[in-house]
């Protein structure tokens, strides 16, 4: 059983999410606006936040930004629900730290596939909490403390960015396909539900935060980490 926080101002949509999540044995709390979502997450850290983008007062993007900046909630998986169908809007949510998104209208089956995927990833992270840090030149990725350092300085990364960076840095020079990286991000079985553009956004963000040359694009194949010269 997982503790799921649902932030959705549409009562029918909120009840849909609640009903299906409860049917799978989860404990669900529903709130109707962004401020309530932030307060509820801080009172009791959920295992997953299902977050609507368009809410009164404080929208889902602001909620995501606030929770990612808070040490107590920075690692909570966030599934965004959005009626905004343009790619720029969807990718903006990932830029702010959302782990996945689902465009309305959506099927309950797909919704729960995304939920299971994110919860599975969280369980895997917990089970592997003792895994050692990965180092590549001036880069250090410490999964246990959810910390990334570049030349000794802490760099704030989302859970998805950290997982992708850990996979690439652990095997420098190896070319990972987008499908392989999606599997690392979302566990086994449900990666097909997520667009490969999710990986592209994470890579673009990591290049901005660290070094553009750290991750190499292999056109038509995927991505590989590059060991800095002299490392």
Domains parsed from the chain with CATH numbers: 3-127 (3.40.50.2300), 134-225 (1.10.10.10)
Running DSSP on this structure, what letter comes out for residue 216?
Answer: E
Residue whose token pair is 């959705």 = 8
Q: What is the pLDDT of residue 192?
A: 44
Mean pLDDT of 7-13: 94
pLDDT digits (tens, 9 = 90+) for 58-99: 999 999 999 998 988 988 999 999 876 555 666 677 778 888
pLDDT at 188 over 70: no
Mean pLDDT of 20-39: 95
Running DSSP on this structure, what letter comes out for residue 88?
Answer: H
pLDDT digits (tens, 9 = 90+) for 33-49: 999 999 999 999 999 99
Contact at 8 Å (CB) between 101 and 79? yes
Q: Which residues share a beta bridge with 147?
A: 142
Q: What is the pLDDT of residue 25?
A: 94
Beta strand residue intervals within the chain, DSSP E? 3-7, 27-31, 48-52, 78-82, 100-103, 134-136, 139-142, 147-150, 153-155, 176-177, 215-218, 222-225
CA distance 138 to 59: 37
Q: What's this model's pTM, rounded to 2 decimal places?
A: 0.66
């Amino acid at each position: 059983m997982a503790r799921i926080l649902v932030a959705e101002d549409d009562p029918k949509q909120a009840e849909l999410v609640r009903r299906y999540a409860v049917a799978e044995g989860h404990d669900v709390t529903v709130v109707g606006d962004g401020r309530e979502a932030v307060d509820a997450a801080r009172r009791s850290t959920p295992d997953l936040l299902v977050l609507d983008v368009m809410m009164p007062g404080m929208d889902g993007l602001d909620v995501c930004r606030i929770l990612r900046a808070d040490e107590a909630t920075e690692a909570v998986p966030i599934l965004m629900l959005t009626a905004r169908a343009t790619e720029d809007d969807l990718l903006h949510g990932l830029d702010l730290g959302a782990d996945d998104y689902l465009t309305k209208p959506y099927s309950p089956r797909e919704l729960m596939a995304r939920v299971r995927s994110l919860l599975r990833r969280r369980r895997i992270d917990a089970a592997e909490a003792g895994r050692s840090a990965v180092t590549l030149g001036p880069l250090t990725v410490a999964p246990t403390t959810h910390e990334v350092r570049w030349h000794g300085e802490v760099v704030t990364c989302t859970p998805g960015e950290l997982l992708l960076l850990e996979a690439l840095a652990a095997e420098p020079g190896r070319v990972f396909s987008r499908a392989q990286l999606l599997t690392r991000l979302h566990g086994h079985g449900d990666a097909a539900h997520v667009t490969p553009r999710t990986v592209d956004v994470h890579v673009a963000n990591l290049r901005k935060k660290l070094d553009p040359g750290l991750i190499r694009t292999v056109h038509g194949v995927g991505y590989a980490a590059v060991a800095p010269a002299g490392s």
